[in-house]
Chain A
């Protein structure tokens, strides 16, 4: 992990729903590929523990945001694919709206502070939503 930035657990948990739903909007996918996509998108900055993705997927399935089906992959193994539902899409736009609000707020305060961000700031910024 070394030089990798550690992102707060709560932030990861909170952002997992929109991230997974958004990735599934691109195309139906399965666990491993979703994680690859997360790594790609975050430039390796978001490190999820692989196994932890699955309870998240199962929660989304229970809530009706995604549907799962088993398929035989080209490797010959059975693989569980996830597909976003219309309910999931609605949830995604709702999350999108909320995250934009959070993002706009943060941008506002970063600009108000408007001096170069010291190195230590990202860590304390990550703690902000929790305390708010």
Chain B
């Protein structure tokens, strides 16, 4: 007879074994069920033959063959499975299949809702071209509340969080619209650019749900953001092709589709695609290897080489950075790229594995980006008073300082890790703790800058 304790531990062991199998892409859940039936029968036979349950389990698992070669055999037989899993995640039971369908329905409804919300202001006489400043200020408010709503629906965070998120969006709506901006003024453009950054954090809070305060939850949000960006670009490319064909085919029968494309297809498609892309990333995250880390692996060495050569050339030729008014923005972008490459290589790295050549490359990249930036800052510092503190320049300087602090401390942590004096997790933690800083700075630009600079 089985002692109850044994029975429980056998179920646990089978659960664990099943979850190992589930991680193999080539083995679908129906196959797992088939293999599990086999395993259980084998265990029963061995137990009847006098083995203890845990021994029987070990023997049965051993006879099943090791997982790698098993999944390789399945992959050879079902090679299509490694490719065809893009949209509809195969699910075990009817219940979770219904869940997948509901999820898709909600996502598409929200995408349509985003398009409707975007067109609503036209009812009160707003025109996308004439009232460009209204649309620029509020663009993120047409999309991000719906996206946040999607994740609130999926993650079901507690009421406090939901109220807080709603409050943040209302406040954003107020600040985006109460200021008497000068039309096409600098502060207006800055506010329109920074509001999405600030609100993106709200999406993150909703995305991570109750895991927002954990490094893992924030890291998942970073991964999500990267994948979303890639998906969005792909969808935009496809949309471009579709638009081109609509224009061409209707032109061939003498109908001008330009108005339809410009005022319906493009704007509605562009906002709806954010929600569709988010849903795609959510659905397929466990299915296919993420793209952002792959691109990072590809471009980190290239960017590192580019920067080292740039610094070397500057040293050899003795050329200084040409001080133009917008030079800071170029170097801000450089730091953003360096930070992005750093973030996405962190996101794909196993924190426990020892340092390797790629880590050294990463440090070279960050250090050379910092050096290049230092040169630019040094050059511009002398003349910044001469140029004057315009809102653009203060914003650019602020971003530079924020990125500089982040990357400088990251370098210290990374070098400590390379020398075996610190763990990689510390670097991860630092990056994730820093996320709210970006949003806070963006919020300052949106809320404080316009009155500070007289709405110019």
Contact = CB atoms under 8 A, between A and B. Distances in A.
Given A32-B41, A49-B63, A54 B76 contact: no
Contacts of B38: 31-32, 50-51, 54
A127 interface: no
Given A55-B76, A55-B77, A58-B77, A78 B33 contact: yes
B37 A50 contact: no
A106 to B, nearest CB: 28
| Interface SS of B by simple majority | helix
A50 B41 contact: no
Contact of B64 (A50, A73, A80): A50
Interface string A51-66: 1101100110010000
Contacts of B35: 51, 54
Interface in B376-433: none
Given A55-B73, A59-B77, A49 B34 contact: no
B77 A52 contact: no
Interface string A79-119: 11000000000000000000000000000000000000000
Interface string B32-69: 01110110111010000000000000001001110001
A75 B37 CA distance: 10
| Interface SS of A by simple majority | helix
Contacts of A58: 31, 74, 77-78
B70 interface: yes
A52 B37 contact: no
Contacts of B77: 55, 58-59, 62
A75 B74 CA distance: 27
A80 B73 contact: no
B33 A52 contact: no
Contacts of B34: 31, 54, 80
Interface residues on B, range: 20 to 34
A73 B37 CA distance: 10
Nearest to B78: A58
B64 A49 contact: yes
Given A78-B33, A80-B34, A55 B74 contact: yes
Contacts of A73: 37
Contacts of B40: 75, 77
Contact of B65 (A32, A49, A59, A79): A49
B11 to A, nearest CB: 13
Contacts of B73: 51-52, 55
Interface residues on A, range: 10 to 19
A32 B65 CA distance: 14
A51 B33 contact: no
A30 B37 contact: yes
Contacts of A80: 30, 33-34, 37
Contact of B37 (A51, A55, A62, A79): A79
Nearest to A33: B41
Given A58-B78, A59-B77, A52 B41 contact: no
Contacts of A59: 77
A128 to B, nearest CB: 25
A55 to B, nearest CB: 4
A77 B37 contact: yes
Contacts of B33: 78, 80
A50 B74 CA distance: 13
Interface in A19-72: 30-32, 49-52, 54-55, 58-59, 62
Contacts of A31: 34, 37-38
Nearest to A58: B77
Name the residue among A55, A78, A80 with the largest chain B CB count within 10 angstroms. Answer: A55
Contacts of B63: 49-50
Contact of B42 (A30, A32, A49, A79): A32
22 contacts: A30-B37, A31-B34, A49-B64, A49-B69, A50-B38, A50-B64, A50-B65, A51-B35, A51-B64, A51-B65, A51-B73, A52-B65, A54-B34, A54-B35, A54-B38, A55-B76, A55-B78, A58-B74, A58-B78, A75-B40, A77-B37, A80-B30
Interface of A: 30-32, 49-52, 54-55, 58-59, 62, 73, 75, 77-80
Q: Give me the 4 closest cross-chain CB pairs, A-B, nearest first.
A: A49-B65, A51-B65, A55-B77, A55-B73
Interface of B: 30-31, 33-35, 37-38, 40-42, 44, 60, 63-65, 69-70, 73-74, 76-78
Given A50-B60, A51-B35, 17 more contacts: A31-B37, A31-B38, A32-B37, A49-B63, A51-B38, A51-B65, A52-B65, A52-B69, A52-B70, A52-B73, A58-B78, A77-B37, A77-B40, A78-B33, A79-B37, A80-B30, A80-B34
